[in-house]
Structure 1
Amino acid sequence: MSFIGSLVIILLFTTLAGHLAARAGIPAVLGQLLIGIIIGPGILNFIHSTDLIEQFAEIGVILLMFMAGIESDMQQLKKYLKPALSVALIGVLLPVIVMGTTSLLFGYHLQEALFIGVVFSATSVSISVVVLREFKVLKGKEGATVLGAAVADDILGVLLLSFMIAIVGNTGGVAGNESSSNMLIQLIFQGVFFAGVFLLVRWIAPGIMYLSNKLLVPTGKTISAMIICLSMAYLAERVGLSGAIGAFFAGIAVGQTPTKKTVSNNIEPISNAIFVPVFFVSIGLGISFNNFLASLPFIIIMTTLAILTKWLGGELGALLAGFDRKSGRVVGTGMIARGEMALITAQIGFNAHLLDKALYVDIIFVIVVATLLAPLLLRWSLKKLNETN
């Protein structure tokens, strides 16, 4: 099938799936992912991954991470800094330690085990926000802490991912002194890149976006923001990191400027209309059920741990910040959902050869099941909270 024909099918079915997912109260991204599994080699075998689909998917990841950076509310993080950092730190460390150790017990190598922990350190609160809004606690201390912790969680997760990709980039193919020399050079370049991120947030992005106001072009601000986004993605790849990492920090930089709303309103529609659905479908196209039964014990145990580590990590962090038990439980269950951040991290790891195909498929199953269960657990904890109010 031609790429245009495949794109029509992908957009048609992801739109319908997104509608049905919204009606069922589950994230649209999971509906898109399931469509990829259904129309791909996993079930119906209609569409296969191609170079063009992969290119569109890569742009989708970059735009998705760019928008995540733009939407990271740094003011919210500052306002609830203590509880947010407490929740984020413990909620990141616990999955890395527990799920990494469990992966070692399943026989995976240290590199794979560490990356599994990194994947499940990610949180996606888009699902939790819907439930928190439904119970009218989004602007209360529990909701604000979940949102603040999500910002810190994203930044910590991206830094961990950068570290893992850097290690992999520094361990391949060259021996002896040459390997050490290459490793040192690459680490220097990566250090320069992160120094550049600070300069970008502090001066470069505000300067570029200020000049974009002077352009006699209707979409000058959006084009300037896209130049920043794609440039950072390109530079990140050049120093051995993922382009998505560069795009995320570009989003944070643009998000601190007065043009944030304009850029978001212009980029988000085209991103969500074309590129992001193709990205999530492309993940589904890589799923098969060949070893599903053999992998079932791993999937069940890791799903249980994915839920418990975020729940207990978030609850403990909230308790240490002075919350009572029921409020802490709301924060903990609000951090369970993985969604798009974990899916992106898993795909980056797969592309960087941190995960083999079978393990990658198993991890996707765990992410999907944990994310589907997350809103149910959050609703339960909110009902418990309301019983005392």
Structure 2
Amino acid sequence: MPEFLSSIPDSPLTTFTILLLVILTIPPIFERIKLPGLVGLLFAGVVFGSDGLGLLDYKSESMSLLADIGKIYLMFVAGLEIDLEDFRKNKNRSLFFGFSTFFVPLVFGTALGLAFNMGLNASILIGSLLASHTLLGYPIVNRLGVAGNEAVVITIGATIFTDIGALLVLAICLSIYGGDFTLASLILQLSSLAIYCAIVLYGFDRAGKEYFRRTGDEESNQFLFVLLAVFLASVGAQLINVDQIVGAFLAGLAVNDVVGNGPVKEKIEFVGSTLFIPCFFVSIGLILKISDFATIFSQDLWLTLGIVITLFLSKFIASLIPKVLFGYSWDQCLTMWSLSLPQVAATLAATLAGVNAGVLSPSVFNGVIVMMLITSVSGPILTSKFARNLFQSEVDTNLIENSNSRSLQLSNNYQHSFINEQYRTVIVSIANPQTEKSLVEMACILAGNETGLVIPLSIVKAHVHMDEPELDFAFHNSNQLINRALQYSKQFSVSVKPIIRIDDDLAEGISRTAKENKGSLIVMGWSPTSTIQARLFGNLIDNVFWSSHCPVAVVKMLDEPTHLRKILVPVKKIDLKTLNAIALGCILAESNQGTITLLHVYDRHLSKNNIENFKNALHLGVQQIAPKTSVTIKTLRYSDPAEAIIHTAHKQNFDLVILRSIRRRTAGGLAVSDVTTEIIKSLTRSVIIFGEPH
């Protein structure tokens, strides 16, 4: 084994190849054992680092470059994902929490340093090390779909305050230690920072809007422009002696309005989440050397424990203050705490600077390394635990209070009969003879009446040579599927236009056919993600969800579509996509003379007044889209939404459950919420997973 490892060439290409292998394989394995994929990347860094296989070196130029890009990208995407309207609305709370999560650890850390007789200057510097934080858990809240929750928004906004504050304290402490500190130097630093922020936030925003206006649909050049803005801001931050991650975060805020939610943003996030950000997490694992722990626990045990305990306690107290003042739930409080726990980027930079300058001792450095290890692992795990509860149970109070006006605003879009006009052209993908009948019947019901068009679609996988016998055999099978589809559709009064298509990619073939025929809905059969290939790259359903221009209904049918009379639709919040999912259920209910029940699961933190407001607004919204359908609104207090939905479906004997899907691409395919996944596995009822384009 050592001989084999020594034979591997030491080159940037080898480093990059190993990183790609790690990013591709390790996160799915850790997610299978109920741990965040980010923890797997940290673990891989330790395994492949100097204390493990020794295949990756943190100090190498290639690794250092990829780690810096990943760190910058992480903060940039965090700024890019912020809803500026929510951010502006909560900017005072962001500043308050930033001050809280900076000042409390600063005081506690200073007290810790004084308790170990380190002197006031060194003690304040130790406090500043605990005051900053790195958003290691951000990809998790982003994946779970709670990045817009107020608790997450103000934590992200607080990051810029804590990092700038920590780095300013570092500069002051080092200047005092070296005898160079003056009031004039502090004023100069603050002035240059203010000018820099104005240039990035306003200058980049104006330049970006003008460039996008001039370039039109040139997405590649627009993508490069955004990347240039990010790295220009990061380099500019270094020029004024501020960490580059501050510049990246400001750049994300600056171009937020420019890129919107279009394809350029998708490209930016895809490149970051699949490549650069994972490289940063691997690099963190490379820093953590297990061989140093023996020395740490034998000589610096009490100082190390003091640093770790002080960090956890002070960050918790800092998160508890806004909970009490602003009335946040415990899940929100604990999410803020877990997001602000990890100490990596700014902390490591400040610690190394303090040790090199002689202000901090090697013992402090060892304690900080242990703190980095513990918080890097525990932070994402805790974030995954608590943020999932936000996704399951938190309801935005402002959304509830404004739901009446939102529903009234939607009425302009639904003045005509929504039920009859929503799905004029339905593409139904047929491949399995066992599920074909139910899929075609479902498509015919959703198409509505004689004005509707159903397109049974069979994809033949392309070959290099068109005279291959396999291709003829595939065409024969497709023709059989099409003939059966025509027979199944005869009992419905819809037009049918069958298509057999040759395509290299099944998902793209379905999406392209839908676009070419102006499809308004794609109907597919459910197939579980069971193979290793599907888990790594996503399956057919994932890829159609991701690429389609129109809504997709994935059907898992246990009974004939014409027998679906009792329909359950879980509702988390009121928006246009939720109403579209409800409308889908209303079409089926009206066609089968059935009923539809809307289930809203809430927890004990929601007041009775908010629940009534939510029900009233939901009722008004339903009236706009399906005034003739028998709809019942049911609210249920339950700690586990998945369990509540499963229990309700079985106890009240519903025929069908309609669930929403989240369209968000990750390195391992499409991210579907844990609630949806658990329901599909446990529910013994027909299910439709309904998803919409971005």
Q: When the two structures are superposed, what TM-score results if normalisation uses the length of structure 2? A: 0.47
Whether the 8 Å contact between 1:33 and 1:281 is mirrored in structure 2 is yes
**Residue deviations 1:254-282, cap 9 Å, x none?**
11335464443222222233322222222
TM-superposed deviation, 1:308: 3.4
- Aligned 1:1-389 pairs, distance under 5 A: 1-49=10-58, 50-80=60-90, 86-106=96-116, 109-120=122-133, 124=137, 126-127=139-140, 144-167=149-172, 170=175, 179=180, 184=184, 188=188, 191-215=191-215, 217-259=218-260, 261-289=262-290, 290=292, 291-294=295-298, 295-321=300-326, 323=327, 327-338=328-339, 342-350=343-351, 352-353=353-354, 357-371=365-379, 372-376=381-385, 386=603, 389=637
The higher relative CO (CA closer than 8 Å, separation ≥ 6) is in 1
**Residue deviations 1:335-375, cap 9 Å, x none?**
12247963222233245446755244222123135413455
Distance 2:304 2:49 in 1: 21
Moved more, 84-93 or 278-287: 84-93
Moved more, 117-126 or 63-72: 117-126
Whether the 8 Å contact between 1:84 and 1:145 is mirrored in structure 2 is no
**Residue deviations 1:219-243, cap 9 Å, x none?**
2222222222111111211222222
Distance 1:263 1:341 in 2: 30
**Residue deviations 1:42-70, cap 9 Å, x none?**
33333323122112211222222222221
TM-superposed deviation, 1:37: 0.9
AA in 2 matched with 1:269 = F
Structure 2: which 5+ runs fail to align? 1-9, 394-601, 606-636, 638-694
Whether the 8 Å contact between 2:167 and 2:346 is mirrored in structure 1 is no
Indicate how the Cα distance of structure 1 residues 341 and 255 shifts in structure 2: closer, same or farther if over 3 A, else same: farther
Whether the 8 Å contact between 1:128 and 1:378 is mirrored in structure 2 is yes
Indicate how the Cα distance of structure 1 residues 250 and 80 shifts in structure 2: closer, same or farther if over 3 A, else same: closer
Moved more, 231-240 or 16-25: 16-25
TM-superposed deviation, 1:40: 0.7
RMSD across aligned positions (CA): 3.6
Whether the 8 Å contact between 2:19 and 2:279 is mirrored in structure 1 is yes
Q: Counterpart of 1:158 in 2: which secondary structure?
A: helix
Whether the 8 Å contact between 1:83 and 1:318 is mirrored in structure 2 is no
Whether the 8 Å contact between 1:62 and 1:233 is mirrored in structure 2 is yes
Distance 2:142 2:235 in 1: 32
Q: Counterpart of 1:336 in 2: which secondary structure?
A: helix
Whether the 8 Å contact between 1:92 and 1:121 is mirrored in structure 2 is no
**Residue deviations 1:10-40, cap 9 Å, x none?**
2212332221233344433322111111111
AA in 1 matched with 2:202 = R
Whether the 8 Å contact between 2:141 and 2:384 is mirrored in structure 1 is yes
Q: When the two structures are superposed, what TM-score results if normalisation uses the length of structure 1? A: 0.79
Structure 1: which 5+ runs fail to align? none
Whether the 8 Å contact between 1:169 and 1:240 is mirrored in structure 2 is no
Structure-1 residue corresponding to 2:533: none
Whether the 8 Å contact between 1:14 and 1:35 is mirrored in structure 2 is no
Whether the 8 Å contact between 1:40 and 1:285 is mirrored in structure 2 is yes
TM-superposed deviation, 1:97: 2.1
Distance 1:40 1:255 in 2: 37
TM-superposed deviation, 1:283: 2.0
The structure that has the greater radius of gyration is 2
Q: Counterpart of 2:241 in 1: which secondary structure?
A: coil
